[in-house]
Structure 1
Amino acid sequence: MFEQQSPSKPRKRSPLASFMFASRWLQLPLYLGLILAQCVYVFHFWVELKDLVLAAMGNEAALEHIFAAVAVPGAEAPSKLNETTIMLVVLGLIDVVMISNLLIMVIVGGYETFVSRMYLEDHPDQPEWLSHVNASVLKTKLAMAIIGISSIHLLKTFINAQAYEPKVLISQTVIHVAFLVSAMAIAYTDRIMTDTQNVSKH
């Protein structure tokens, strides 16, 4: 008869280790603060959307707010709701949505990665990216989100290119390219680390 081995007991952590591990909950107020910031963005989105709809219907106050929102310092302010003005307002709304997406990735992904498991494996609405989220994946997705936001800002600048000095256009383009290079470097580094881990397993 073989002796049945008793399951190994979990190793007892020292009080200091338990205290340090519990310190991860200090990040919880930060994520709650980001949720409040998300609420502010939602409110801002609906204010801008309401003004756009009212401006399209001829509301003077909404038109003034729209013109002030899209006006570029040093350039002539628009006098009517034309295609360019609508495009700038819509780009602003898209910008808000993309920043909101960035906040969601930081809140959900960061909490899952650095604070505590959410156990969403069986949830029907679990985001696809959350199933394999880790610090490297989160960094890559955040970098891609920042590139998207930078693209929106760059597009808004080029729509009003005549109102900016060439050095401003060049600077924004260089910054955008720097974001692209950084994202590619992060993705390449993550790929190298993944390949190294796969090789070490064999």
Structure 2
Amino acid sequence: MADSKSTEPAAAPASDKHAPSAIERGLESFLFKSRWLMAPFYVGLVVSLAVLLFKFVLLLWENVIHLPTAKESDIILGVLSLIDVCLTGNLVLIVVFSGYENFVSRIDPNGHPDWPEWMTKVDFAGLKQKLLASIVAISAIQLLKAFMNLDAGYDSTKLAWLVGVHMTFVVSTVMLALSDRWTSDH
């Protein structure tokens, strides 16, 4: 005959399968707060933007100084170098804003009507896509610069490597986009 007062604990409700202990809550709180250790990385990337700006100004000045004697191909190569630095700066900004928003803390755009709309809406999948698209664009600029320098004597091995690396970036970007699309559909 079964005893009406069972010594077995009552089953936990389905929504509360595990009540965390004080140690577990403390550890989780510590781990959650550790995300702030990433903030100095993003500040360092902002400093790297200043370095890129300095390099951009030097390249621009060099292009302006050599303008009277430059050939058309030299001007195009100079502009491509400026675009390359600009795209790299854009890449850094994407990482700073999206990384901070996704991994450290939400950014409140209220009161800042001039902030780009994408800044607080890029999730991790979108961040990966933007990063890879920027890398492909930078790689394409490098490849275009190499093609523009074909007259100056080209190294077929170096050109083959540039094409191979660029195609690797392109294929990787397409595969990641397809993978993200397939996983979001299922």
Shorter-chain TM band: 0.7 to 0.9
Once the two structures are superposed, the pairs formed by residues 98-137 of structure 1 within 5 Å of their partners are 98-120=87-109, 123-137=112-126
Give me the whole-angstrom Cα distance separating, in 2, the residues matched to 1:164 and 1:23: 50
Label 1:121 to 1:164 Cα distance change in 2 as closer, same or farther (>3 A). farther
2:13 match? none
Compute the displacement of 1:193 (Å). Answer: 2.0
Query: Quick check: 1:121–1:131 contact (8 Å CA) kept in 2?
Result: no
Give me the whole-angstrom Cα distance separating, in 1, the residues matched to 2:164 and 2:149: 18
1:33 to 41, 44, 52: 44
Query: Quick check: 2:135–2:169 contact (8 Å CA) kept in 1?
Result: yes
2:10 match? none
2:54 to 4, 23, 43: 43
Once the two structures are superposed, the pairs formed by residues 147-166 of structure 1 within 5 Å of their partners are 147-162=136-151, 163-166=153-156
Q: Which has the larger radius of gyration?
A: 2
Label 1:130 to 1:193 Cα distance change in 2 as closer, same or farther (>3 A). farther
Quote the RMSD (CA, aligned, Å): 1.8
Using structure 1 for the length normalisation, give the TM-score: 0.76
Query: Quick check: 1:161–1:169 contact (8 Å CA) kept in 2?
Result: no
Label 1:131 to 1:26 Cα distance change in 2 as closer, same or farther (>3 A). closer
- Counting aligned pairs with the same residue, the percent is 40
1:186 match? 176
- What amino acid is aligned across from residue 171 of structure 2 in structure 1? V
Give me the whole-angstrom Cα distance separating, in 1, the residues matched to 2:117 and 2:56: 26
**Structure 1 stretches lacking a partner, 5+ long:** 1-10, 59-79, 197-202
2:102 is equivalent to residue 91 of structure 1:
no
**Structure 2 stretches lacking a partner, 5+ long:** 1-19
